Structure 1
Amino acid sequence: MSIFKKQESNVRSYCNSFPVIFRHAKGCWLETDQGERYIDFLAGAGSLNYGHNNPILKHALLEYIAQDGITHGLDMHTDAKAHFLSVLSNHILEPRRLDYKVQFTGPTGTNAVEAAIKLARKVTGRSNIVTFTNGFHGCTLGALAATGNQHHRGGAGIPLAGVSRLPYEGYADIDGLALFETMLVDNSSGLDHPAAVLLETVQGEGGLNVASNEWLQRLSKICKKHGILVIVDDIQAGCGRTGTFFSFEPSGIQPDIVTLSKSIGGYGLPMALVLLKPELDKWLPGEHNGTFRGNNHAFVTAAKAIEAYWANDDFSRHIQARSLQVSRTIQRLLKQHPELFVQGKGRGMMQGIECKNSNDAGEIAKLCFERGMIIETAGPNDEILKFFCPLTISESELEQGLHIFEHAVEAYSATVTQKAS
């Protein structure tokens, strides 16, 4: 372990919560160099929706590599890219009647957000971007300006500008959309007419806050009326995490721009893209680029993931069944431990349970780790325990993980009771 302390920057974070050396991974399981096994309820922060070393995706990747397929191609044409674009269109976009062009950005979510913001400003000629309380969009400067979390914002070193922030649905019981609409028509509101609104339909890092279908429809209508683009950041909530491929599907809205990353690559390989309505494609060649926007290995596994899991509704039904399994556990714990928990949060396989005390969440997560589970916290004060296992997890594996969590809660509750007495 000394090499990490000696050589790696203090910026590292997840390893502080899980101080072991991992060597193998399969499905929803991680194994250390000492042979200890942990069930994974983190899943690469949503980058491993199809699990570790998914055999279907691994076979496709190994076959492609064995044939000396293109690895790195900038934005040149390749067979792998052509196949991915065809599969994305045939299985994802066309069945949902979504007409989008595809922009490949640098292979991170924050780069996709940067591209979306730049494009909105370029197309509209306006600079202001409206974002929401508790939103998280990345740590590069443009995306960080749109991010609410003060811990991350504090690392910028310069003022973060170009963004106006509104209350998200449910924030302090304020009707943020009524405020937005009023400010848009008030010449003295001080709100510069926005180029776009940027939001997550389910806020991942911000605390698993969920925007209702009605709220999203209302927001979409306001934006359309005032010529404002809607950008949905589906980097964490997309690729099936909420039950449908896109998180916004149940609302019926059609965003002008969508950002995807994390699990779009299928295998955990770096990949990010921006979906944009054709009339918005005003880019000049190379105006936004990235050396690794042509990660063909990711194109291969991304296409295979869509073919294997999204050609019909079976996978969505599986996610819905596992979501109910998680929901039942959360509801049971809320009844059993009102002294610890406030409410359930989230949607689909993006759920969590809010603790009354943020310290409780951290201590329960530690106990889970001691019992063989990787689970992390979310929310402005790290007060929410976040259930984020791979979507491919089986019913029995999920039950095993939930039992570990429940036992950790019972042990912590007993400790708290003992201290109080």
Structure 2
Amino acid sequence: MTITAPDMTVFESLESEVRSYCRSWPVIFDRAQGSVMYDEDGHAYLDFFSGAGALNYGHNNPVLKRALLDYLERDGVTHGLDMSTTAKRTFLERFQQVVLEPRGLDYKVMFPGPTGTNAVEAALKLARKVKGRESIVSFTNAFHGMSLGSLAVTGNSMKRAGAGIPLVHGTPMPFDNYFDGRVPDFLWFERLLEDQGSGLNQPAAVIVETIQGEGGINVARPEWLRALADLCKRRDMLLIVDDIQMGCGRTGAFFSFEEAGITPDIVTLSKSISGYGLPMSLALFKPELDVWEPGEHNGTFRGNNPAFVTATAALDAYWADGQLEKQTVMRGEQVETALREICTAQARAGAEYRGRGLAWGLQFIDPSIAGRVCARAFELGMLLETSGPRSEVVKLLPALTITPDELDEGLRTLTRAVSDAVGETA
């Protein structure tokens, strides 16, 4: 694809140097529909990024868009803080009917500020308030957000350094297979908890991602998650599952922890919970943990009523009959087959893949290859990002609603991009 370099003057002169994604994709996007984005010159880009997981149902999903437009056209409340509104009531009722009750989950629903990191902050504050302790255990290569509390339980050193102050009251432990199977699960964690001389304060909670998205698509085994849940129960620690990127069907089931058969004490959701890319987040927790005082955790934009509308439409359209979960599993098998073929063809480059549902990662011995793959894919009209502490993993997050033909096209483009990038290295 031949792309004429756009005039980026206004962005470069006025916007902060903190911008990141635009550096990898130096075009000016104008519109988007489904799994395709278009720049202002009309070039199409197949989107395997999905708003970092915020667009599980694609761009401008027509069902969700219709519900949103109808709501706005009748002058529905757009900003409501935590006031009771019809949009919120409908969402709560449908969320209970479609998501919670069929899974036997008895959770209270909290609307923190509308970002993932705010949901995590709320979860950490609540755990500390309930247990009366400060320490939180997280895991190597975890990512939980960019505000100070979330950064304290995030592993990435570059992101942590941005805090500018010491990040305290968080203790990292090895994630599943961190020692390549050479150390029994939770040996170190259990020993520290038992040893009065370990220096580990009794934790209030443990926070975990079932699949570490930003950490490199590191997939926790169901048995590891079950053992973690058991450890938390035995040691009087709350279990928090951060399902911000991997929830809302990304791994197949609505919650990523369902496969393991565990019931976390607290769950955080954001990104695709609104279904349309509108800011929204939830903290779910067992009723006995609801010890908040009114207004103890609040935010001006926690009542994003348009997001309630599209979230409800997404539940009705995609989760009432269970078909999306089956479709995601099938699409995931299509991705896995293609990645297996890529890794066979690129065995000399040490290509490896991992993932579940429609969250996949592709890694090489040379960590720089991932960046070259994504750059070449962009030249070929496809949006991919890297993940992992060294940006060493090609990360695939296509929309759950992507068609088989679009998925096949993207996987062919990925295969070509990998071949070109590995050939460039040789």
Q: Same fold (TM over 0.5)?
A: yes
> Using the alignment, how far apart are the partners of 1:111 and 1:340 within structure 2?
40
- Deviation per CA, 1:212-248: give whole Å up to 9, x if none: 1111111111110111000000000100000110000
The answer to whether the aligner puts 1:92 opposite 2:115 as a matched pair is no
1:107-186 correspondence to structure 2 within 5 Å: 107-173=114-180, 174-186=183-195
Contact 1:341 1:353 in 2 (8 A): no
The answer to whether the aligner puts 1:278 opposite 2:303 as a matched pair is no
Q: Match of 1:106, as an amino acid?
A: G
1:64-103 correspondence to structure 2 within 5 Å: 64-103=71-110
> Using the alignment, how far apart are the partners of 1:410 and 1:230 within structure 2?
42
> Using the alignment, how far apart are the partners of 1:416 and 1:221 within structure 2?
46
- Deviation per CA, 1:31-77: give whole Å up to 9, x if none: 00011000001000000000000000000000000110000000000
Contact 1:197 1:229 in 2 (8 A): yes
The answer to whether the aligner puts 1:21 opposite 2:16 as a matched pair is no
1:359 aligned residue: 368
The answer to whether the aligner puts 1:227 opposite 2:252 as a matched pair is no
2:310 aligned residue: 301
- The alpha carbon displacement at 1:364 in A equals 1.1
Identity of aligned residues (%): 54
Contact 1:100 1:275 in 2 (8 A): yes
1:258-269 correspondence to structure 2 within 5 Å: 258-269=267-278
- The alpha carbon displacement at 1:405 in A equals 0.9
Q: Residue 241 of structure 1 aligns to a residue in which SS? A: coil
- The alpha carbon displacement at 1:345 in A equals 1.7
The answer to whether the aligner puts 1:310 opposite 2:319 as a matched pair is yes
- The alpha carbon displacement at 1:411 in A equals 2.1
1:320 aligned residue: 329
Which stretch has the larger CA shift, 380-389 or 45-54? 380-389
Contact 1:167 1:175 in 2 (8 A): no
Contact 2:140 2:155 in 1 (8 A): yes
- The alpha carbon displacement at 1:176 in A equals 4.9
Q: Residue 232 of structure 1 aligns to a residue in which SS? A: strand
1:175-254 correspondence to structure 2 within 5 Å: 175-254=184-263
> Using the alignment, how far apart are the partners of 2:157 and 2:172 within structure 1?
14
Q: Match of 1:362, as an amino acid?
A: G
For residue 57 of structure 2, the aligned residue among 43, 50, 55 is 50
| TM-score normalised according to structure 1 size | 0.98
> Using the alignment, how far apart are the partners of 2:422 and 2:163 within structure 1?
39
1:414 aligned residue: 423
> Using the alignment, how far apart are the partners of 1:224 and 1:371 within structure 2?
50
> Using the alignment, how far apart are the partners of 1:19 and 1:48 within structure 2?
21
Q: Residue 164 of structure 1 aligns to a residue in which SS? A: strand
Q: Residue 347 of structure 2 aligns to a residue in which SS? A: coil
> Using the alignment, how far apart are the partners of 1:341 and 1:38 within structure 2?
28
Contact 2:247 2:254 in 1 (8 A): yes
Q: Residue 351 of structure 2 aligns to a residue in which SS? A: strand
> Using the alignment, how far apart are the partners of 1:274 and 1:183 within structure 2?
29
Contact 2:376 2:417 in 1 (8 A): yes
Q: Match of 1:211, as an amino acid?
A: A
Root-mean-square deviation (CA, aligned residues, Å) is: 0.9
Q: Residue 339 of structure 1 aligns to a residue in which SS? A: helix
Q: Match of 1:415, as an amino acid?
A: E
Contact 2:108 2:287 in 1 (8 A): yes
Structure 1 spans left out of the alignment, 5+ residues: none
> Using the alignment, how far apart are the partners of 2:414 and 2:209 within structure 1?
27
Which stretch has the larger CA shift, 389-398 or 406-415? 406-415
- The alpha carbon displacement at 1:412 in A equals 2.5
Contact 2:211 2:219 in 1 (8 A): yes
> Using the alignment, how far apart are the partners of 1:366 and 1:2 within structure 2?
22
Which stretch has the larger CA shift, 332-341 or 240-249? 332-341
> Using the alignment, how far apart are the partners of 2:218 and 2:351 within structure 1?
14
> Using the alignment, how far apart are the partners of 1:410 and 1:169 within structure 2?
31
| TM-score normalised according to structure 2 size | 0.97
> Using the alignment, how far apart are the partners of 1:14 and 1:341 within structure 2?
27
Give aligned pairs, total: 417
- The alpha carbon displacement at 1:338 in A equals 1.3
Q: Residue 368 of structure 2 aligns to a residue in which SS? A: helix
Q: Residue 25 of structure 1 aligns to a residue in which SS? A: strand
Q: Match of 1:6, as an amino acid?
A: S
Contact 1:340 1:360 in 2 (8 A): no
> Using the alignment, how far apart are the partners of 1:414 and 1:178 within structure 2?
42
1:4 aligned residue: 11
> Using the alignment, how far apart are the partners of 1:143 and 1:345 within structure 2?
26
Contact 2:209 2:243 in 1 (8 A): yes
Q: Residue 171 of structure 1 aligns to a residue in which SS? A: coil
> Using the alignment, how far apart are the partners of 1:114 and 1:373 within structure 2?
34
- Deviation per CA, 1:365-407: give whole Å up to 9, x if none: 1110000000000111111101111110010000011111111
> Using the alignment, how far apart are the partners of 2:261 and 2:413 within structure 1?
38
- Deviation per CA, 1:264-310: give whole Å up to 9, x if none: 01100000010010000000000000100000000000011011000
Contact 2:185 2:224 in 1 (8 A): no
Q: Match of 2:57, as an amino acid?
A: Y
- Deviation per CA, 1:145-204: give whole Å up to 9, x if none: 000000100101000000111000111234451221222121111111000000100000
Q: Match of 1:281, as an amino acid?
A: D
2:5 aligned residue: none
Which stretch has the larger CA shift, 91-100 or 348-357? 348-357
Q: Residue 172 of structure 1 aligns to a residue in which SS? A: coil
- The alpha carbon displacement at 1:415 in A equals 3.0
> Using the alignment, how far apart are the partners of 2:421 and 2:54 within structure 1?
30
Q: Match of 1:416, as an amino acid?
A: T
For residue 388 of structure 2, the aligned residue among 358, 379, 384 is 379
